[in-house]
C-alpha cells in the first residue's frame, strides 16, 4: 500500500491529467444524483454526459467516450439492462468503467 504522501501525489497527478484531457465521461445513474454527479465530474475537469438509453449509450461509447460511470443505486430493470449493455460495450472497446454502489443496512 502506498504511503499517504505517495497517495496524495498519485491523486494529484491523476487530477491534473483529467484536467488536461477533459475526458467525456458517460454517467448512467438515477435522476436523484445526476446533478451532483455531473457537478463533481465538472469540478474534476471531465465532461459529463448523462444518458439512460441503450442505443444512445452504445453510440456515445463508440464515439470516443473517455470513461463510463455506472451508479448501481436504486436501479430499475430497464436501467439495469442499459447498464449491462454499456459495461459490455465498454469492455469490448477497452474503455475504463467505474461501478458506484452504496448499501446501508440496519442490523
pLDDT at 103 over 60: no
Distances (CA, A) of 7 to 1, 38, 41, 46, 61: 9, 25, 20, 21, 30
E-assigned strand segments in the chain: 24-28, 47-50, 67-71, 97-100
pTM score: 0.84
Q: pLDDT tens digits for 21-61?
A: 999 999 999 888 899 999 999 999 999 999 888 899 999 99
Amino acid at each position: 500500500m502506498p504511503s499517504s504522501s505517495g497517495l496524495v501525489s498519485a491523486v494529484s497527478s491523476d487530477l491534473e491529467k483529467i484536467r488536461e484531457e477533459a475526458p467525456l465521461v458517460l454517467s448512467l445513474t438515477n435522476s436523484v444524483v445526476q446533478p451532483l454527479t455531473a457537478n463533481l465530474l465538472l469540478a474534476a475537469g471531465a465532461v459529463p454526459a448523462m444518458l439512460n438509453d441503450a442505443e444512445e449509450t452504445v453510440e456515445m461509447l463508440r464515439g470516443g467516450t473517455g470513461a463510463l460511470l455506472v451508479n448501481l443505486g436504486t436501479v430499475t430493470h430497464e436501467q439495469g439492462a442499459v447498464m449491462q449493455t454499456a459495461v459490455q460495450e465498454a469492455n469490448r472497446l477497452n474503455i475504463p468503467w467505474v461501478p458506484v454502489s452504496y448499501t446501508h443496512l440496519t442490523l
